[in-house]
Amino acid sequence: MAQIKDAAVLKAVAHPVRRRLLDVLRVDGPSMPSVLARVTGQAVANISHHLRVLAGAGLIEEAPELARNRKEHWWRMPDQAITWSVADFAGDAADLAAADTAVALGLQRQVELATTWIGSPAAKEEPWVSTAFSTDSFLRLSPAELAELGEKVQELMNQYANRPPAPEREPVFFMSRGFPGRP
Cβ contacts of residue 153 below 8 Å, gap of 6+?
176, 178
Mean pLDDT of 40-51: 97
Phi, psi for residue 95 in degrees, rounded to 5: -65, -40
Q: What is the widest separation between alpha-carbon atoms in the chain?
A: 58
- pLDDT, one tens digit per residue, over 71-128 is 999 999 998 889 999 999 999 999 999 999 999 999 999 999 999 999 999 999 999 9
- State which fold the 2-128 domain adopts: Arc Repressor Mutant, subunit A (1.10.10)
Give the integer Cα–Cα distance in Å for 49 and 85.
27
Q: What pLDDT score was predicted for residue 80?
A: 84
3-state DSSP call for residue 79? coil
Mean pLDDT of 42-62: 97
Confidence band for 179, pLDDT divided at 50, 70 and 90: confident
Give the integer Cα–Cα distance in Å for 160 and 164.
10
- pLDDT, one tens digit per residue, over 116-175 is 999 999 999 999 999 999 999 999 999 999 999 999 999 999 999 888 889 999 999 998
Q: What pLDDT score was predicted for residue 1?
A: 79
